[in-house]
Structure 1
Amino acid sequence: MAGEAGTCDVQTGGSTRGDTCQDLQKCVYAGYVLCNLNDLCVFHGPGRSLLYLITPAVFMHIHPYRLPFAERKKTVFLMLLFSVFCFFFSFQSSAQAATQAKMYQEAVAQFQRVEKSSSLSKRRDMWTSVHSRFKRVLSKNPSSSYAPKALYFMARSYEELARNSWLKRDARTAVDAYQRAENRFSRNHSWADDCLYRKAMLRYERLNDAGGAAKDLQLLLQRYPGGDKARDARQTLAMLAKKGVPEARIKAARRPSPPRSMIPDSRVPRSVRTVYDEAVDRLKGFRRSKSVTRDDCLRLARVFDALGEKRGAGLYAPRSLYHSGQTYEELGKRSGRRDDFEEAVVRYQRAFDSFPASNSWRDDCLYRKAYVSYTYLKKEDQAYADLIELKRNFPHGDMVANANAMLRKMDRPTRVASAKTSQKSVASVAVFKQPRRRVRTTGIARLTDIRHRSGDTYTRVVLDLDREINFEDHTLAPDPKHGKMHRLFVDLEKTRLGKDLAARVMVKDGILNGVRAGQNDSSTARVVFDFQSMQKYHMFTLQNPFRIVVDVYGDGDSPAPAVVTHAAAKKLPPVKRDHKPTYKERKVASDVLAQLGMTFKTIMIDAGHGGIDPGALDKVWWKDKRGRKHWKIRTREKEVALKAAKILGKKFERKGYRVLYTRTTDYKVQLEDRAMAANIKKADLFISLHCNANRKASVRGFETYYLGKARNNIVLRLAAKENNVDPVRISDTQKIVLDLVNSFKMKESRELATLVQKRCVTGLRRHYRGIKDHGARGAPFFVLVGARMPAILVEMGYITNPTEVKLLRSTTYLERVADGIVQGVEDYRKSLSRVGR
């Protein structure tokens, strides 16, 4: 009877026992397929997975208690369909993983090859190529284990670039990538501390941010006290402490206790739950009572802290830390002491770190920490970073709405205590805006990068976008009550933030505190500039690719030369008529001239175009054997300009000048970065070399330009070519220049351009016929915008003219052009030195 009860009598199809057994058999097999489908695909590969899934179907055919034929046929068909699906799914998954692994290995091999080669490691294009490879690895599957490693090598690539180029832009890109990589690595990963250490050293060595580097090293010791970089971090902190860096004297955080496994609340001891409930009730009572003393609050906080450190407390431990933060926050409201609020921030952060990743209390911890930092500690930067992290990691949390409201409040103008102060502050801001017409836009643009360069008296910020957009800018008055200076925000229409864009860019250059970007709404991105001081700002756009340039001028910015101080005036002896100055008098006069900025020793030479921008081209047509016409490029402007720049630099060095270059190899330098490089290196002159072009091949001649207004359409078209903009829109740049010429050394630049033009034309006419003198002209060249020294642009000839293009390919011709430029600069220097005679 027992054996009969365990069988399925399929021949009695109408019996209840047979139907039940058939259904049971189907359910068992369906459960088998669904439960093991994923494991089979992952561990056994496509072929063996298919075999394992087909085997039970075959077994059902030969089993003595098999299903009826009609049911068996249908069931087998469904199983085979599942098998085919499993095969393709597993094949695709394994192929994708194998592809990313192969891409990563190839990228690492290229990185090592470039790093080991002394010649390749100095080339910018090689490192950008390596960076692009790792970026493709990251985009293949951002959630895989290769993603943080790819970010690490992306940072390494730009670190090598920064060490060769000395550009702060490269160093900042590397710092941002290291931080993103450290965020993605798990805390026990051996590469995580390397990210923080390399980030700290870059901030110290390349960005001159010793305080920021010390904070990163302190964070390294707090998070990875047993890492392989902990010893180096301690040594570097000791060195920074000797140099007087305040942040380096802060004691490193004690080694954290090992992570506790969160046990269920039901298994937490009753005594812990009782103490916790009583403490929470006391906290609620404290909020309602006005007679609570400071000692009462501190005693309650110690109770919560003890629960937070107690083993076996499960989730009651991080909850207690959160309530401890609330206790200190309440205490700070009553006492007004800053250290109470700082203790609250520390507790909220510890609670956030202690909760499991999926716990719903984590976003509450971040929000309370940001609220206290912003409202009571006036640390807007820290609060902003915490809110951005909350929105990014908890998009569906219950605190997102509050975070958005606080972010909007940060950018909202607040009422100033004194109306007079507000009016005075607003009146002191001079705004120069490029006249902007509304453009028709299609699709959603991406804000891909925020770059900045700082000079002595102004800062240039560039917003890079992938397409042209409409935007609006507004200023906010300073708010001394809340510790806020001037703010400028730019709303970018139909724009979203790029995935790799840093939410906050620290500047700290005396003019800007920082630049932060956020998604104001679903179709508008907002960029906020936090100023330390501002007198005026200027905005204009550049094309190909589209970018918005913001020049911000700080206090004390004056285009005129510095006024002679009273002490310097005393040193300068009175000069009588027909009096021949003595050596001592000439020396004193020379020193005063140096103080006035009227002597120069450093010259920045800019070779126009470069990299993917070839400039003007000399094309040659030819016919193949079949009579078909083809053309090839014989001469590129970028090559002629670079060759001339090196020749000119050697001649200046022979005269005793210090020579700098915007580029020495074939790579592109953005227009807005060329004059800024001269400012940062404190060059005394800026000379940009180019070749001209015209639709008419008969046009030829030599000309020199300075920043100014174009007098005819020919010069306007030339400026459009050099600015890489549409000739239809170049008329707008005229209005930009009218705002700018009074800010820069227009008079000195015009004088220098006149002398260089005269010397070059005179020298070339001695050796060549037909040299036409087009004179020194003003033109709205963006490459000259922002130069804080006399700046000129030399057009050495027309590359589209058959005669002059042969000269431009000649080394002898370029040598003679360089001789004329050097003689013109010498004449300009002598004109300044006559003041001291």
Structure 2
Amino acid sequence: MFSRALVPLLALLFLLSLASGLQARRSEGPKEAYLKAKKALINFSKTKQVKKRHAWLKIIDNFRRVYLLYPESGYAPAALLMMGRCYEELYGYSGRRADLISAIKRYQVLVERYPRSRYADDALLYQARIYAYKLKRPDKARRILKELLRRYPRRDKAKEARKMLAALRASASKKSRSQKVTKSRTQKDKVRQTAKARKSTSAVKSTASKKPPAKSPSLPVGEVASLPLAKLPPEPVLLKGVRHWSSENYTRVVLDLADKVAFSAHLLRPDPRLGKPMRLYIDLRPALASAYVKEEIPIKNGLLKAVRVGQYRPKTVRVVLDLGSLSRYKVFYLEEPFRVVVDILGEGRPLVKAERPLPKSSGKGLSLAQQLGLTVRRVVIDPGHGGKDPGAIGPTGLKEKTVTLKVARLLRAKLRQKLGCEVIITRNRDIFLPLEQRTAIANTRGADLFVSIHTNASPRRRAYGVETYYLNFTTDEEAMRVAARENAVSQKSIGQLRRILKEIMLTAKVQESSRLATCIQKDLVSHLRSRYSRIKDHGVKQAPFFVLIGAQMPAVLVEISFISNPREERRLKSEKYLDSVAEGIARGIVRYVRETQMAYLQ
């Protein structure tokens, strides 16, 4: 046991250590401390810890220290604002009302202690949003918005406050009108009887003179593959981010979520009188929008004009896409992590690409490359994996991402020479690209062909050979295993793709992709066999590869060799072998283009 005389000493040591800790933190400076806390938040948001309450509280504590240690600095109000935002984020995972109250308190402290801070209007607006959309207290929200406009009429959040206040007033007015409808049953009956009598006496006259109403043009039909309701989580799921790629005639939008949600899509006609474009909106439920997702994302060019995100109902997030035009759309989901993908085709995108105008005659015939380039103008090559995703790794450590990039570069040079066309590779260095972004690159660049390069791998080290895939569902266990590995998901998740593919494959270029795969497989195997022994032909297969979903052109995935096989791994280290692989694929593409051109000319 400790002597009582030691107690004061221990207390003093504790106070000294605490003071030295505070002094160390003070020497750090407010800016450094705040930036350190913010960096920790950014790194934390990319981990699986975001679902854990204690982890969020540690992040919040980082900002709390900044506020407590440097209350007179300009970073104190910023730290309070970040504390409030973090509590809102935590609510998205916890669903606890107490977290919203904690957020409100931090915003209120900011406004009261730092009324001249540039963050004060932000804090008031965030409070109003919580009261209006999450706590269902529109009266309280209106009072806060009025306070914001009174205090900060010229701040940047004043415009949003006016818009929100008008919407809340309109909603309250509508509710009030519905409550004032107290007509008696007798009066209603009399009105109905009178209207019925008038209608019967004038029916013959109106039928003879009435013109049929003008038919409004039908809206484009979309394909939506949603998630069955039985699989939904009981608590709201966080919408973490919105990614988008857009060109003149194609748009892909990806909604990143923390877990599975149900979703629906609806199309709204353009309204020229109100200056409203055609809009496609997607409702996600049960869901909450992250505080880090912008409410409006303006797009300056392409088919997509803007993306707007809002908490439409307490457990429904609505994402609205403002579009220039539309011919058809697809909405589907991918798993691990869960995301909703929206593909949109504009009216200007032809189903069959028009031929490039023939060059003026110079007295000489066109070269083969020039002739073939008339039907294929742009090819996108996708080197699989990259960055933090190494892909499969061979027995001696060779990484799939390294091999695929080398082959893609070799193939690019050969296609430029053989076809005289533009060749784009999705990544020209060691960086990570999500699977859905790779297809989006091909679609936005208007590619005529899409070829994804990969190396195969198997638990059986003796497995070797070459195979080429196109998108479709299959019951083949080995094909499903390969797809699960390349998609970086479980085979169970792959199995759940059957219904999605059934709904979105109607417009996919299955036949053309099958022909392209056949041409590449045949020439790749033939060319390799002319130079190497023991080249096994696994043939053309079909499987649900994420990277091929939504491609608007013939698209294939080539497994050039088994990196898990010691002999084939040695070959994949050889520049000569990789050049032979690229040559075989290039010959297959040329064969496909030639056959396509001949069929077109017949």
TM-score (norm: length of structure 1): 0.48
The range that moved more, 546-555 or 717-726, is: 717-726
Rg larger for: 1
Which residue number in structure 1 is paired with residue 514 of structure 2? 750
Which residue number in structure 2 is paired with residue 472 of structure 1? 264
Structure 1 Cα separation of the partners of residues 343 and 333 of structure 2: 11
Q: Does the 8 Å CA contact 1:456/1:679 hold for their aligned counterparts? A: no
Alignment of 1:219-258 (within 5 A): none
**Deviation readout 1:428-467 (Å, 9 max, x if unpaired):** 3212112522324365533222121113422111112233
Q: Does the 8 Å CA contact 1:447/1:496 hold for their aligned counterparts? A: yes
Q: CA deviation at 1:690?
A: 0.5
Q: Does the 8 Å CA contact 1:619/1:635 hold for their aligned counterparts? A: yes
The question of 1:102 aligning with 2:102 is answered no
The question of 1:402 aligning with 2:169 is answered yes
Alignment of 1:415-814 (within 5 A): 424-425=216-217, 427-438=218-229, 439-441=231-233, 444-479=236-271, 482-507=274-299, 509=301, 511-562=303-354, 598-600=375-377, 602-618=378-394, 634-655=397-418, 656-710=420-474, 712-814=476-578
Structure 2 Cα separation of the partners of residues 682 and 788 of structure 1: 9
Question: Structure 1 pair 139/444, CA: closer, same or farther in 2 (3 Å)?
Answer: farther
Question: Structure 1 pair 491/831, CA: closer, same or farther in 2 (3 Å)?
Answer: closer
Structure 1 Cα separation of the partners of residues 355 and 503 of structure 2: 24
Structure 2 Cα separation of the partners of residues 399 and 583 of structure 1: 68
Structure 2 Cα separation of the partners of residues 589 and 771 of structure 1: 30
The range that moved more, 727-736 or 683-692, is: 727-736
**Deviation readout 1:109-147 (Å, 9 max, x if unpaired):** xxxxxxxxxxxxxxxx9xx9xxxxxxx999847986359
Which residue number in structure 2 is paired with residue 386 of structure 1? 159
**Deviation readout 1:478-511 (Å, 9 max, x if unpaired):** 5555443443332322432223221101235564
Q: Does the 8 Å CA contact 2:383/2:401 hold for their aligned counterparts? A: yes
Structure 2 Cα separation of the partners of residues 824 and 766 of structure 1: 15
Which residue number in structure 1 is paired with residue 182 of structure 2? none
SS of equivalent residue, structure 2 residue 388: coil
SS of equivalent residue, structure 2 residue 326: coil
Q: CA deviation at 1:609?
A: 1.1
Structure 1 Cα separation of the partners of residues 167 and 497 of structure 2: 43
Q: CA deviation at 1:758?
A: 0.9
Q: Does the 8 Å CA contact 1:748/1:790 hold for their aligned counterparts? A: yes
SS of equivalent residue, structure 2 residue 580: helix
Structure 1 residue runs of 5 or longer lacking an equivalent are 1-80, 109-124, 129-135, 151-185, 190-357, 370-381, 392-397, 409-417, 573-581, 621-633
**Deviation readout 1:253-284 (Å, 9 max, x if unpaired):** xxxxxxxxxxxxxxxxxxxxxxxxxxxxxxxx
Q: CA deviation at 1:673?
A: 1.3
The structure with more helix, counted as a fraction of residues: 1
Question: Structure 1 pair 811/419, CA: closer, same or farther in 2 (3 Å)?
Answer: farther
Q: Does the 8 Å CA contact 1:808/1:814 hold for their aligned counterparts? A: yes
Q: CA deviation at 1:815?
A: 1.8
Structure 2 Cα separation of the partners of residues 522 and 89 of structure 1: 46
Question: Structure 1 pair 558/764, CA: closer, same or farther in 2 (3 Å)?
Answer: same
SS of equivalent residue, structure 1 residue 771: coil
Q: Does the 8 Å CA contact 1:711/1:778 hold for their aligned counterparts? A: no
**Deviation readout 1:11-40 (Å, 9 max, x if unpaired):** xxxxxxxxxxxxxxxxxxxxxxxxxxxxxx
Structure 2 Cα separation of the partners of residues 768 and 611 of structure 1: 31
Alignment of 1:210-289 (within 5 A): none
Question: Structure 1 pair 598/711, CA: closer, same or farther in 2 (3 Å)?
Answer: farther
Structure 2 Cα separation of the partners of residues 546 and 788 of structure 1: 23
SS of equivalent residue, structure 2 residue 307: strand
SS of equivalent residue, structure 1 residue 402: helix
Amino acid at match of 1:516: R
Q: Does the 8 Å CA contact 1:515/1:530 hold for their aligned counterparts? A: yes
SS of equivalent residue, structure 1 residue 648: helix
Amino acid at match of 2:25: A
Q: CA deviation at 1:738?
A: 4.1
SS of equivalent residue, structure 2 residue 386: coil
Which residue number in structure 1 is paired with residue 98 of structure 2? none
Amino acid at match of 1:527: V
**Deviation readout 1:743-774 (Å, 9 max, x if unpaired):** 34443333222221111101112233332212
Structure 1 Cα separation of the partners of residues 368 and 417 of structure 2: 26
Q: Does the 8 Å CA contact 2:265/2:331 hold for their aligned counterparts? A: no
Identity of aligned residues (%): 34
Structure 2 Cα separation of the partners of residues 437 and 671 of structure 1: 24
Question: Structure 1 pair 763/502, CA: closer, same or farther in 2 (3 Å)?
Answer: same
Question: Structure 1 pair 550/592, CA: closer, same or farther in 2 (3 Å)?
Answer: same
Aligned partner (choices 807, 818, 822) of residue 586 of structure 2:
822
Amino acid at match of 1:598: T
The range that moved more, 90-99 or 736-745, is: 90-99
Q: CA deviation at 1:777?
A: 2.8
Which residue number in structure 2 is paired with residue 363 of structure 1? 149
Which residue number in structure 2 is paired with residue 145 of structure 1? 74
Which residue number in structure 2 is paired with residue 77 of structure 1? none
**Deviation readout 1:777-804 (Å, 9 max, x if unpaired):** 3333221233343322111122333433
Q: Does the 8 Å CA contact 1:510/1:533 hold for their aligned counterparts? A: no
Q: CA deviation at 1:106?
A: 8.4
SS of equivalent residue, structure 2 residue 255: strand
Structure 2 residue runs of 5 or longer lacking an equivalent are 1-10, 47-58, 68-72, 80-114, 119-143, 176-210
Which residue number in structure 2 is paired with residue 118 of structure 1? none
Alignment of 1:179-194 (within 5 A): none
SS of equivalent residue, structure 1 residue 617: coil
Q: Which has the higher contact order (CA 8 A, sep 6+)?
A: 2
Structure 2 Cα separation of the partners of residues 768 and 590 of structure 1: 28
Question: Structure 1 pair 511/694, CA: closer, same or farther in 2 (3 Å)?
Answer: same
Question: Structure 1 pair 359/677, CA: closer, same or farther in 2 (3 Å)?
Answer: closer
Q: CA deviation at 1:363?
A: 3.1
Question: Structure 1 pair 361/499, CA: closer, same or farther in 2 (3 Å)?
Answer: closer
Which residue number in structure 2 is paired with residue 157 of structure 1? none
Q: CA deviation at 1:583?
A: 8.4
SS of equivalent residue, structure 1 residue 464: strand
Aligned length: 469
SS of equivalent residue, structure 1 residue 499: coil
Question: Structure 1 pair 483/669, CA: closer, same or farther in 2 (3 Å)?
Answer: same
SS of equivalent residue, structure 1 residue 432: strand
